[in-house]
Amino acid sequence: MTRPPVALRTAALEQLLTERGLVDPAVMDRFIATYETAVGPLNGAKVVARAWTDPAYRERLLADGTAAIAELGFSGPQGEHIVVVENTPTRHNVVVCTLCSCYPWPVLGLPPSWYKDPAYRARVVREPRKVLREMGLDLPADVQITVRDSSAEVRWLVLPERPAGTESLSEEDLVGLVTRDAMVGVAKVAP
């Protein structure tokens, strides 16, 4: 027996909960709108693009990620203690939460399912180069990989390398290049 697609199951569950008075559709719509517009990877992309175009902001971001991110209006639950680390041609950072799925929601939105997967959480610590390669990121052997373990005390955000050839792009144009995966460190930003 095949199961209906997730979207159909979700709609059926929402309808059932609404009919029984357990869920207010207006509240659900506000939650969805929040995660579509106010919280998510677009916010992180704005942080990265600002750091790429404003050296003073970049310095503040690397010195105190939480405060610099708040300058752009992004804060809240799961965003209280964000430390930003920079990827360079010789050093690559990748983020994991080995205990659960601690994640900087205000700048990355909801964590992807692979981030919460026990296999990713265990393997990226033991064999980060191999896991990154499996995810499509093949780093040269001379690049040092540092695995950053997020927790309730510290949530990590990667400042990816700015791609070559983007020097003439505006901050707004750069935002469109930055992906959630690059800010977790499992991908690079493509020009």
Give tens-digit pLDDT for 101-142. 799 989 998 889 999 999 999 999 999 999 999 999 999 999
Q: Is the pLDDT of residue 45 over 70?
A: yes
Confidence band of 36 (pLDDT split at 50, 70, 90):
low
Binding-site members are 97, 100-102
Spot the catalytic one: 102, 113, 150, 168: 102
pLDDT at 35: 67
More confident residue, 27 or 96: 96
**Cα distance between residue 186 and residue 179, in whole Å:** 10
pTM of the model: 0.83
Please write the tens of the pLDDT for every residue from 170-180. Answer: 999 999 999 99
Which of 32-36, 49-53, 80-84 shows the lowest per-residue confidence on average (mean pLDDT)? 32-36
**Cα distance between residue 94 and residue 146, in whole Å:** 6
Spot the catalytic one: 75, 101, 150, 168: 101
Domains of the chain: 37-184 (3.90.330.10)
Q: Which residues fall within 8 angstroms of residue 16, CB to CB, at 6 or more apart?
A: none
Active site residue 101: yes
Q: Is the pLDDT of residue 37 over 70?
A: no
The mean pLDDT of the chain is: 92
Alpha carbon separation from 20 to 14, 16, 120, 173 (Å, rounded): 10, 6, 38, 46
Active site residue 151: no
More confident residue, 6 or 149: 149
Active site residue 113: no
Active site residue 75: no
High-pLDDT (> 90) share of the chain, %: 72
